[in-house]
Amino acid sequence: MFAKVEKQRNGIELIKIDNQETTIVFSNFGARIISWKYDDNSIVLGNIVEADEFYQANPFKFGATIGRYSGRIADATFELDGKTYTLDQNDGENNIHGGPHGLDTKFFDYEIYEQVGQVKIIFTTIIKSEDDHFPGNIELKVTHTYNVEHKWTVEYEAIATEKTLFNPMNHVYFNLNRDNNIIDNHYISSEKLALYPLGDNNLVSSLDPIDLKACFDTDKIKFKDIFETTHPQLQQQMTRYNGLDHPFDINDGQMTIENKHFLLKVETDMPNVVIFTFNDTSSWQSNFNIYKPHSGFTLETQCIPNDINLEGENAQSIIEANKPFYSKTSYKIFEKEI
Ligand code: BGC
């Protein structure tokens, strides 16, 4: 397999990989995935034609690497080893997606490795404490690999100069419908699907999750059935948020999403998956904004948002100085035989 590089304006470079019936495109801007197609069907949201204009002001951060801390941090503040850190408030009073100078805004350096049966792109950058006000700098490597089996793998390797928080993810939105209609007809499954309810401002309010498999008594749960549930606690969540924006516990980091035509298999070593069903698309004032609610869904593999304030020193997002961090998530697409 091989990759082709195309330069756009504003320093944006596209790295295009062709693999028979599938194609995938990444960019140096935010170490993003820009496009993933099965034949002519786009299975992720993005814009390859005008990437140089589309991504810079897009608040939904399609396909971007997010960090150093993916989810919200309540009141943009946390304590670590007795010291209080104050971050930028870029989501009401909270901090989200690592703040306004997060990884999604960075131009990464990269190297392409064409190997037998796969292409690997290693993106590198440095996260500086002076940019995001978390403790310590982090040397970061994000590797995107695409292989002949139509499997996209993202690996994160990081090393910090001080004890800090690190909770990266990729903000890709999927839509497996051939006509790109809303995703309410997709089914999710995993041996475990436990959803953490949200309180005010999209923040996790309880570490006591709702067992969706018990609520629906089925192995594959349709998004529409979640949205239209009559289960009192879940219904209250759906009414409040118009869909999912919730962290899940899943079984062994494995989860499947499917519709009639495609099946997407996710595997991760991160502790949780946040599923966001693009519930309100109105905040992006742009001609590029052609999206209606539920145009896509994310599968954000990460530690539970705000874990540092919920769990203190036990937060899984804490990393020690000079101790290498490694994490891996993969997404594999299958076309169903009908
Ligand atoms: C958050 C959503 C937010 C979206 C777009 C997601 O990661 O969970 O609440 O609306 O990103 O910024």
pLDDT (tens digit per residue) in 91-121: 999 999 999 999 999 999 999 999 999 999 9
pLDDT(151) > 90? yes
Q: What is the mean pLDDT of residues 228-238?
A: 97
Is the minimum distance from the CB of 59 to ligand 1 under 6 angstroms?
yes
Per-residue model confidence (pLDDT) at position 337: 85
Under the banding of pLDDT at 50, 70 and 90, the label for residue 169 is very high
* Summary mean pLDDT of the chain: 97
The atom number, within ligand 1, closest to the CA of 283 reads 10
Per-residue model confidence (pLDDT) at position 261: 95
CA end-to-end distance (rounded Å), the chain: 29
Q: Which helix (H) or strand (E) holds 239?
A: helix 232-241
Take residue 171 and report the two structure tokens written for it: 């903000």
DSSP assigned state of 208: S
Kindly list the strands in the beta sheet with 41-42, ordered across the sheet, starting from the edge strand earlier in the chain: 3-7, 13-19, 22-27, 32-38, 41-42
Is the minimum distance from the CB of 276 to ligand 1 under 6 angstroms?
yes
Judged on CB neighbours under 10 Å (0-12, 13-18, 19+), 285 is exposed
The atom number, within ligand 1, closest to the CA of 300 reads 7
Is the minimum distance from the CB of 52 to ligand 1 under 6 angstroms?
no
Is the minimum distance from the CB of 173 to ligand 1 under 6 angstroms?
no
Q: Choose which residue among 60, 70, 90, 96 to substitute to test ligand 1 binding: the one with the highest number of ligand atoms within 8 A of its C-beta.
A: 96
Please count the other Cβ atoms lying within 10 Å of the Cβ belonging to residue 188.
24
Which residue has a Cα nearest atom 12 of ligand 1? 60
The atom number, within ligand 1, closest to the CA of 279 reads 10
CA of 76 to the centre of ligand 1 (A): 16
Is the minimum distance from the CB of 246 to ligand 1 under 6 angstroms?
no
Per-residue model confidence (pLDDT) at position 29: 98
Q: What is the mean pLDDT of residues 177-185?
A: 96
Is the minimum distance from the CB of 60 to ligand 1 under 6 angstroms?
yes
Q: Which residues pair with 214 in a beta bridge?
A: none
Q: What is the mean pLDDT of residues 192-214?
A: 94
Ordered alpha helix ranges (H), 111-182: 129-132
Cβ atoms of 138 and 321 closer than 8 Å: no
